[in-house]
Amino acid sequence: MPEGPTLAELGETELIRRLGAFAPLGQFGDDAALLGPALLGPAGGGDLQLVLNTDVLVEDVHFSAATMVAWDVGWRAAAANLSDLAAMGCRDAVGLTVGLVAPGNTTWAWVEEAYAGLTQLLGAHGGVLLGGDCSGGRQRLLAITAIGRLPGDRGGPIRRGDAQPGDQLVCTGAHGLSRLGLAVLRGEALPALAPAVQERAIRAHRRPVPRFDAVAALGASRPVGLPWRVAGCDSSDGLAAAASCLALASGCTALMERQAIPLAPELEGLAAAEDWCLWGGEDFELVLALEPTWAAALVEQLPGTRCIGHMESPLPEGPLVWSDGGEAIPAPSASFQHFG
Amino acid sequence: MPEGPTLAELGETELIRRLGAFAPLGQFGDDAALLGPALLGPAGGGDLQLVLNTDVLVEDVHFSAATMVAWDVGWRAAAANLSDLAAMGCRDAVGLTVGLVAPGNTTWAWVEEAYAGLTQLLGAHGGVLLGGDCSGGRQRLLAITAIGRLPGDRGGPIRRGDAQPGDQLVCTGAHGLSRLGLAVLRGEALPALAPAVQERAIRAHRRPVPRFDAVAALGASRPVGLPWRVAGCDSSDGLAAAASCLALASGCTALMERQAIPLAPELEGLAAAEDWCLWGGEDFELVLALEPTWAAALVEQLPGTRCIGHMESPLPEGPLVWSDGGEAIPAPSASFQHFG
């Protein structure tokens, strides 16, 4: 009986595209789900907009006992999830639920440490553990669903598809350090690194921080009279993936300035520096497309933020090109495959 | 190094109790999480109360290819999850997110069928697919988080701990048929059953329905002037487990009438009938403790609903006893263990 393609053959992007057909049009287009008045109904008071985000983190796919203790697994799972709330325009978290799956021989000590790390990160951003479920299973995993609020009249949603030609492309911090940390933890071949550099890199990998502060700065730096329109997502899948994703969702091309890529200084001199900055992933910064005066005000106000390019009408070279010469920026040959 | 107990040694009840220590006091006490004004803030308009519920359904723990096709897996996963929203007082669902984990060799056809079943059930109760995540993993599982609203001035929350001595214990339907269906599907030794009985039992097991209609009838049958106070939960873990759970959370003893247990007629004459009615589980009815005039009005209004006992101040025999004689109702020897 012909059963059609497997998930490994489809790949994650195509799988998500197909699953999106089961949801209302546009519902699968962002980092997380936006619940506005149409979904929450009149009891929502009209003003309330919620953001709901689900992430599944599977052992040996998203985390490994070789590179992380349980406390870091919990912290990182919560941080990655809350980063998606920030990427939608939330300034804090209401809370989250955890679906815990683990083999019966998992120790309580491991679970306790993971929840301690998770609630530590969560509490630092206004959220509480709301509930959850647990079950035995062959592999440890955490299925986390976080809920947040948009800040009402202080700021609207950040959507992937809201960029326009002429917008500046801005990112809120340096990139590549998390990937360097992973390389150190895995014992990949590297030139000698100062202990302090290794420590910073490992910390970036194990203890990412969701950029709610950047969303607050975004609201505070909006020029008077300028309507709320911000395109954005987080850089969890890599800086270049984020820029490409904004461009595709908005029907634009993102032009990145090669001299302006936000390379973490710790990567300077490494052969993989540019690759890790663009595609390393898991830096959990925000990548935004903004009207130029707003972009300039944000860069002025929020240290570490910089312009890395701009958006144009779609070019035949594709969604992501270098601004000098207009050459397409290719995806790395070995991109991350969850169903590999 | 002593690492303390494993999850299999702790058991699910003790694990959930320990995990509850990471949440605000009382947050882990119900079928699902209640998000009121204190959590949603002033933007919620004061009136809005949301319910958030996470269930993890793992292959070979909660479902099996031997007893269910993918479409049924999806339907049942959504139904079980929405049943918890009903058990908290919701009359419909806003929607849900799905975290899908599956080995790379899973076919798209399987996933498509599962999502078709899931969205069919969801759509019949007002909800939409809101978002989700997917990942490879060694075992198929669905981590579902549903969100619902309480109906504002038409009805408040249903909490496990709100029962009082003197309340009638009510359930919204017959019990044991889902367990009979599982026995048929597994080929357990059974007396000869009419084909129509087998079909009804299998259907009860594969296609449960969340009792949102019962919550609407509960609101409509409330005697004028009686304040909203309803204790309840669903009977997903078994009728007796539900009654026991209300009693424990409310500091009462539940007295069940042996002659009034809501045995599905299809079970009559089976040796296991009483056991399956009390402990079979997965009938997904509501078990409620109500002020007697309200209970009588609900029984009058909602076909299939019946009084099965009442609540008293705690008795030394335990949380769950037979009303004739006051003998404790013991848990079955082989109760279901998720971490077994």
Which of A136, A154, A172 delimits the end of a domain?
A154
CA distance A60 to chain B (A): 9
Domain with B133, as residue range(s), is: 31-153
Per residue of chain B (340 residues), what is the pLDDT tens digit? 557 899 999 998 899 999 999 999 888 888 899 998 888 876 555 678 999 999 999 999 999 888 899 999 999 999 999 999 999 999 999 999 999 999 999 999 999 999 999 999 999 999 999 999 999 999 999 999 999 999 888 899 999 999 999 999 999 999 999 999 999 999 999 999 999 999 999 999 999 999 999 999 999 999 999 999 999 999 999 999 999 999 999 999 999 999 999 999 999 999 999 999 999 999 999 999 999 999 999 999 999 999 999 999 999 999 999 999 889 998 876 555 667 6
Share of chain A above pLDDT 70, in %: 96
The answer on A126 and A214 residing in a single domain is no
Any B CB within 8 A of A190 CB: no
Any B CB within 8 A of A115 CB: yes
Q: Which pLDDT score is estimated for A110?
A: 96
The answer on B176 and B119 residing in a single domain is no
Structure-block tokens of residue B340: 């077994």
User: Which helix H or strand E contains B105, and what residues bound it?
Assistant: none
The answer on A168 and A147 residing in a single domain is no
ipTM reported for the complex, 2 dp: 0.93
| DSSP type of residue A328 | B
Is residue B283 in some structural domain? yes
Q: Which pLDDT score is estimated for B334?
A: 58
* Whether A46 and B45 lie within 8 Å, measured CB to CB: yes
Question: Up-side HSE of residue B115: CA atoms within 13 Å toward CB?
Answer: 24
Structure-block tokens of residue A136: 């035995």
CA distance A122 to chain B (A): 11
The answer on A143 and A93 residing in a single domain is yes
The count of other CB atoms within 10 Å of the CB of residue A106 is: 21
The region of weakest confidence among A79-88, A94-103, A135-144, B42-51 is B42-51
Is residue A6 in some structural domain? no
The answer on A182 and A130 residing in a single domain is no
The answer on A65 and A49 residing in a single domain is yes
pTM as predicted:
0.94
CA distance B257 to chain A (A): 32
Q: How far apart are the C-alpha atoms of A53 and B192, rounded to whole Å?
A: 49
Is residue B22 in some structural domain? no
Is residue B20 in some structural domain? no
Of B41, B138, B339, the CB nearest to A139: B138
Number of domains in chain B: 2
Is residue A11 in some structural domain? no
Q: Which pLDDT score is estimated for A46?
A: 63
* Whether A43 and B46 lie within 8 Å, measured CB to CB: no
Task: Report which of B67, B64, B60, B74 is spatially closest to residue B112, judged by C-alpha positions.
Answer: B74
Contacts of B100 in chain A (CB under 8 A): 19, 56
Is residue A14 in some structural domain? no
The answer on B267 and B124 residing in a single domain is no
Q: How far apart are the C-alpha atoms of A247 and A232, rounded to whole Å?
A: 10
pLDDT tens digits along A20-70:
999 998 888 888 999 988 888 765 556 789 999 999 999 999 998 888 999
Q: What is the CA radius of gyration of chain A?
A: 20
Is residue A104 in some structural domain? yes
Is residue A10 in some structural domain? no
For helices B177-186 and B195-206, give the axis angle rounded to 10 degrees: 110
The answer on A277 and A171 residing in a single domain is yes
The answer on B204 and B179 residing in a single domain is yes
Q: How far is CA B139 from CA A107, B64, B100, in A?
A: 21, 11, 10
List the CATH number of the domain containing B71: 3.30.1330.10
User: In this model, does residue A336 exceed pLDDT 70?
Assistant: no
Any A CB within 8 A of B145 CB: yes
The answer on A168 and A314 residing in a single domain is yes
Q: How far apart are the C-alpha atoms of B96 and B82, rounded to whole Å?
A: 9
